Amino acid sequence: MPKSNATNPYHPESSGQSDPSASGGLKHTASKAGIAFIMITVLLDVLSLGVVIPVLAKLIKELSNDNTAEAAGYVGLFGTIWAGMQFIFSPVMGALSDRFGRRPVLLLSAAGLAIDYVIMALAPNLTWLFVGRILTGITAASFSTASAYIADVTPPEKRSAAFGLFGAAFGLGFVLGPAMGGYLGDFNLRLPFWVAAALTAMNAIYGFFVLPESLPVEKRSSFRWSRANPIGSLNLLRSCPGLLPMAIILFTYQLAHNVFSSVFVLYTDERFGWTAGMVGGALSVVGILNFIVQGVLVRPAVEWVGERVLVFVGLLGGMIGFIAYAVVDTGQQFFLSTILFSLMGFFSASIQGLMSKGIDPTRQGQLSGANSSLNGIAGMIGPTLFSSVFEQTIQPDGPWYWPGAPFALAATCLGIGLLIGLFTIPRSGLRTPTNLGQEHV
């Protein structure tokens, strides 16, 4: 990652422009303190999300009379609504950050997320828990803005490595979050929500004093609802040849990944009888391996074989890992399978790096919003899809008992993405345009 933006062709000073607002301080501060804050804010936000993962499904089960099958239906519904909020508000967040800058969007989202966790911590029934989940989906849409921040201050050739660090922060958050949430959840299922609220509130306060703006005024674009709505945001994906197929591949990955939030806790409860603490420990192992891949291995791997190859490595590793999850009989076998599954960590950073190179610098926020909208669509489909499959395949009197069936379906989704990628991703990647996509502004 560069120490300054002097080599960034998208930075005003590198093109010889005289702009006091973007000179000296902004260049140095945004590239140093900005990226440091983004990694910390992603870590804290994911930590807060990870804290509640081991206990949310169990709390839903408790509030639905301890009925596992009924709880699976509610988990699917909650996940679908959460993703629906992501789908609607991610492009709004991205467009607002393109217009007003990244800083205010990030800070307001962090503060709102803290309030949402308080609501869920106090929820006396499923209805209030549902309300809190809606608000969390809205405020957590700021991840697209954090991704755009990375693109602002990183030159194109360094972005895959930067997105790898971004993913590593996710991984570290899922190392610490689920372990903490599982430990706290063994004492009280509500306690992790309070801890999540405190973490996100600390993040908002920290960012208020530390976070610099990454998007100079002259690089901002006007806010238009045609770009801020999900459909208008997704239209951007047609602006560059080869970008839409990559977006579809990203969608298959996002859809498959929903199997974890949809059925993982209930699956390990049904299959292995794991407690909240054991679930947290398992997710922490997954997070550690993901951190190693994205934080340590992505940068040298990109230099060695390139992003295109790593996209395929990630998809293939994920397929094998999901298939293993679907057929394992013991918890020990599950842990061994995570080694294969960790290869999927190469995918996200590589595909994001390829996609960001094909978009004009003034549209990075919109691209991140479009990708998050895809994630929202996947999230609206995935929870209902996977939880329904799980619900049907754990019925004692059903025709087919196979709790691992949702993971086999997730492997199929990645297989579709792999086939599309083999035929559509050019060996040279997308060409980097100077004004591509401006016709859609």
The per-residue pLDDT for 223 is 65
Question: Per-domain residue ranges for the chain?
Answer: 29-208+237-428
Distance CA 110, CA 89 (A): 15
The per-residue pLDDT for 29 is 44
Structure token digits, residue 342:
């960790």
The per-residue pLDDT for 201 is 87
Please state the pTM of the whole predicted model.
0.62
User: Which residues of the chain have a pLDDT value below 70?
Assistant: 1-34, 48-49, 68-69, 140-144, 157, 159-160, 167, 171, 174-175, 222-234, 239, 358, 360-366, 369, 398, 428-441
The beta strand positions in 178-253, using DSSP E, are none
Fold classified for 29-208+237-428? Growth Hormone; Chain: A; (1.20.1250)
Three-state DSSP state, 135: helix
The per-residue pLDDT for 84 is 78
| Cα 119-122-126 angle, rounded to 5 deg | 85
Cβ atoms of residues 60 and 74 within 8 Å: yes
Cβ atoms of residues 348 and 372 within 8 Å: no
Three-state DSSP state, 79: helix
Structure token digits, residue 203:
């993040």
The per-residue pLDDT for 312 is 94
Burial of 132 (0-12, 13-18, 19+ CB in 10 A): buried
pLDDT digits (tens, 9 = 90+) for 242-258: 788 888 999 999 899 88
